[in-house]
Amino acid sequence: MVPAPEERGGDLFPEEAPLGTPLEQLTRHWMNERHAPDILPAHEELLTTLLDHLRRQSEAVQLLRGDPSTSEEEHIRIMLVQTEIERVKFIVRSYVRTRLFKIERYARFVTTNAEVQTRLTAAERDHASRHAKITDQHFFLSVLQSLPEKQAHLDDTPLFVPPMITEPDKSRPVFIHALQKCPRVRLPDGASLDMEKGHISLVPYSIVEQLVARGEVELV
């Protein structure tokens, strides 16, 4: 009899940590990525750990499904584990797609900003570079080659004209949930905001960017 996934390694994601299980951490990073206007740091090691665990759980499920000695009760347990596996896969796919959407939207900004590049994986940096190059070629062949030389560039910064390179709008308001007592922050109107654990506020992202990076708040 092949042991059930729970018997082979405990719960689906059993490793507890100060910040929660790997799945809880990924869920928090996923929600932060979805709600933040900027591209947040990648969590490649965490993602690799979860994907490896999913692979092992899926293999165990397939072995049990093909074992004729598996009881009806164990089949129900297998279905529950498989449902949880699919839920985790959805979170992983959504997290990756959210990052990919931002990287493609801000590809040219990413390629010209060294600090943002440090938040990406090697594969994400390569994708941003290729996407920016293809987009530049498309703009040049479609429009820019027909314009005067002084106006045929994407990196022009004329006065009173929006920049040609799209950048994240950090002034966009976001809802935050304080995971602990946070340092006082100064709002754009000069007022100050104190946040206790559990407090939910609506503030510009730029005000709480560092709190998000340190894990003191989460976006909701």
Residue 1 has what pLDDT?
42
Evaluate if residue 217 carries a pLDDT over 50.
yes
193 bridge partner residues: 185
Residue 52 has what pLDDT?
94
Evaluate if residue 114 carries a pLDDT over 90.
yes
Residue 120 has what pLDDT?
97
Residue-wise DSSP of 19-59 = T--HHHHHHHHHHHHHH-SSPPPP-HHHHHHHHHHHHHHHH
Q: Alpha-carbon distance 197 to 179, whole Å?
A: 5
Residue 76 has what pLDDT?
87
Phi and psi angles of residue 114, each rounded to the nearest 5 degrees, phi first: -65, -35
Average pLDDT over residues 160-182: 88
Evaluate if residue 16 carries a pLDDT over 50.
no
User: Under a CB-based contact definition with an 8 Å cutoff, are residues 166 and 202 in contact?
Assistant: no
Predicted TM-score (pTM) of this structure: 0.83
Evaluate if residue 159 carries a pLDDT over 70.
no
Length of the chain: 220
- Digit-coded pLDDT (tens) for 40-89: 999 999 999 999 999 999 998 888 888 888 788 888 888 898 999 999 99
Q: What is the mean pLDDT of the chain?
A: 86
- Digit-coded pLDDT (tens) for 117-157: 999 999 999 999 999 999 888 877 787 777 777 766 676 66
Burial pattern 65-100, b for ≥16 Cβ within 10 A else e, equals: eeeeebeeebeebbeebbebbeebeebbeebeebbe
**Better-scored residue on pLDDT, 69 or 4:** 69
Number of Cβ within 10 Å of residue 61's Cβ equals: 19
Evaluate if residue 216 carries a pLDDT over 90.
yes
Evaluate if residue 19 carries a pLDDT over 50.
yes
In angstroms, what CA-CA distances link 181 with 18, 195, 198? 16, 6, 8
